[in-house]
Structure 1
Amino acid sequence: MNTTKQVQHKQTVLITGAAGGIGYELASIFAAHNYNLVLVDRIGLKLKEIAIKFQAEFGNSVTTIVKDLSIPSSPQEIFAELQAANIHVDVLVNNAGFGIYGLFNETDLTSELEMLQLNVVCLTHLTKLFLKDMVKEGYGKILNVSSAAAFQPGPLMAVYFATKAYILSFSEAIANELEGTGVTVTVLCPGSTESAFHERTGMADSKLLKGKRMMDAATVAKIGYAALMKGQTIVIPGLINQILAKSVSFTPRKLVTKIVRNMQEDN
C-alpha cells in the first residue's frame, strides 16, 4: 500500500478497478469533489501514475493498493490494510469486473471462476466488510457497477450476464434493507461503453458493437456519480438503454434470449 500526503477532514472513497475506464473516470470526479482516494487495481504502475497526477492537481490524499481481486483473500487484505492505516471509507465503489465471450461449453473454466470471484464474490465481500462501519456511523454510500446486461440472459456471455444480474438484485435488496440507516446503495447499469473491456472479451466484432457509437466512460461515470449523491437505487445511462431494460419485462423471455444471441454474434 502506498499513500501520498494525508489530508484530514475529507471523506474517503475506495474504488476498485481504478486504473482505467469507468473506474478511472469516477476517481477523477471524486478527486475533483475533494475526496481522499483509495484506488485498487492489479496494474500497479498505472495506479502510481494516477496517484501522482491527482495529488498534483487536487491535493488529495491518494492511497494505492495493488491487488488481484480475483484472489479470494484480497478483500480481507484490503480491509485490514486500511484499518491498520486508520483510513475510514465513507464511499465504496465496486467497479472492478471483466467478461468472457464465447459458447459456455467452449470457454475456459478457470477464467470463468476468476470472473465469478471478482464480479460477484469480491463485490459481496467488500460490501459486507465496509458496510458494517457505515451503518454504525449512520452514513455511507455504495456504488455497485452492474450493466444493462443485468436485465436479460446473455448467450455467448452467459456467465458475465449472470454476474451482472446478481449485482443488480443484490444491490436492490440491500438498498431496501438499509432504508433509514443513513447508508444508500446505488447500482449503475451502463450499456456498451467505450473502454478496453470489449477488446479483452473478444467481442469487438459482434453485431452489438461493430460500427456502433458507444457512450464514453467519462459520461457514464458522471451519471453514476450524480445518482450516487442523490441516493438513487438504480441508474441506467442513456434513454435507449432505459427503454430496452424496461421492454424486457413485456417481452417473452425466450424471444429476449434469441434477440440477445443474435446481437452478440459476430458479423
Structure 2
Amino acid sequence: MKALITGATSGIGKAIAQELSRKGWSLILTGRSETALEELKETLPVPVETIALDLAENQAPFTLYEFCKGKHVDLLVNNAGFGVYGAFTDTALQDELELIQVNIRTLHILTKLFLRDFKKRNSGRILNVASSAGFLTGPLFSSYYASKNYVVRLSLAIAEELRREKSRVTISILCPGPVNTGFNDRAGVQFRIKALTPEAVAKEAVFGAITGKLLIIPGLMMRVGIAASHLVPEQILSRILYHVQAAKKPE
C-alpha cells in the first residue's frame, strides 16, 4: 500500500508519515524543504520517495500529480496548510492569497485528479486535513477558518456523491482542535488551551482513513464543543470566537 502526504516535513503530516510507516505503507512525501524531506526519509523503515515543492505555486499540484502517475497511490493525504492571524483589513493580502492557494486550490486540484483515478479502479482513500475551525466562523483568523470550511463542505459533498454511486472509494475529513505543531508559530499565535500531540492526532487520522470514517474529530472535548456550537446562534458564536481568537495573540 502506498500513500502520498503533502506537508509531510513537520506536525501532523510528519506524524501521519511515521504512523503509516509503522503499518508498512510505502510513502511519497512532499514539502517545501528538500533537506527536511531527506532527513525524514532516513528515519522511516519503508520505501520512501520525496519531491520538494512549494504548493503555493500555481503549477505545483499538477507537478506533484504527474510525479505520482503510474505509482498506484492508495491513500492521498491532503495535509499542507497554514493560517494567517489578524483583523481582515490588517493582514497581508499576499499571505492570504498563498493561504488560499495551499489550503483550498491545491487541495481541490489534488482531490479531483486523484479521485478520478480512484473511481476508475474503484479503490482508494482520501484524507483531507481540515480543522475544528471548519465548522465555525473565526474573527481574527477569518481566511483560515473560511478555508477549512471549504475543505469540510467540499469533502462532505464528495462523500455523498460516492455513497450514492456505491463506490468503494472513501473520503475522510480530519478536524482536530489545537495541535502542538509549528502551525501556531507560522500564524503568530499562542494556544490558550491544552493542545493534542501530532502523534495522537495521526493515530486517529490513520485509523479513521483506513477504515473509511467520514468525520475524524480527535478528543472527546472537541467533539462535544463542535456539537454544542450548533446550538448557539451564529452572531453570538462569532462574538465568543472573537474573544477566543484575541486570547491567542502573543503577549
Counterpart in 1 of 2:148? 164
Counterpart in 2 of 1:232? 213
Mapped pair 1:17 → 2:13: no
Measured in 1, the distance between the counterparts of 2:138 and 2:10 equals 25
Counterpart in 2 of 1:3? none
Measured in 1, the distance between the counterparts of 2:54 and 2:170 equals 27
Measured in 1, the distance between the counterparts of 2:107 and 2:152 equals 12
Partner of 1:193, secondary structure, is: coil
Measured in 1, the distance between the counterparts of 2:143 and 2:33 equals 24
Counterpart in 2 of 1:48? 38
Instruction: State, as a whole percentage, how many aligned pairs show the same letter.
Output: 37
Partner of 1:14, secondary structure, is: strand
Mapped pair 1:69 → 2:55: yes
Counterpart in 2 of 1:5? none
Measured in 1, the distance between the counterparts of 2:117 and 2:187 equals 36
How far off is 1:46 after superposition?
Answer: 0.6
Counterpart in 2 of 1:105? 89
Report the residue type matching 1:176 in the other structure. E
Alignment length (residue pairs):
246
How far off is 1:65 after superposition?
Answer: 0.7
Counterpart in 2 of 1:36? 26
1:19-75 CA distances to partner (integer Å, 9 max, x unpaired)? 000000000111111111000100110100111111xxx2x2211010000111111
Mapped pair 1:259 → 2:237: no
Report the residue type matching 1:234 in the other structure. L
Matches within 5 A, 1:1-267: 11-54=1-44, 58=45, 60-83=46-69, 86-179=70-163, 180-204=166-190, 209-210=191-192, 212-265=193-246, 266=249
How far off is 1:153 after superposition?
Answer: 0.5
Show structure 2 runs of 5+ residues with no match: none
TM-score, length-scaled by structure 2: 0.96
1:66-108 CA distances to partner (integer Å, 9 max, x unpaired)? 000011111111111222xx31211000000000000110100
Measured in 2, the distance between the counterparts of 1:214 and 1:234 equals 19
Which consecutive segments of 4 or more residues in structure 1 shift more than 2 A? none
Measured in 2, the distance between the counterparts of 1:51 and 1:199 equals 24
Report the residue type matching 1:253 in the other structure. E
How far off is 1:129 after superposition?
Answer: 1.0
Report the residue type matching 2:55 in the other structure. L
TM-score, length-scaled by structure 1: 0.90
Show structure 1 runs of 5+ residues with no match: 1-10
How far off is 1:109 after superposition?
Answer: 0.2
RMSD (CA atoms): 1.0
How far off is 1:131 after superposition?
Answer: 1.0
Report the residue type matching 2:89 in the other structure. N
Measured in 2, the distance between the counterparts of 1:231 and 1:161 equals 25
Report the residue type matching 2:12 in the other structure. I
Measured in 1, the distance between the counterparts of 2:211 and 2:160 equals 15
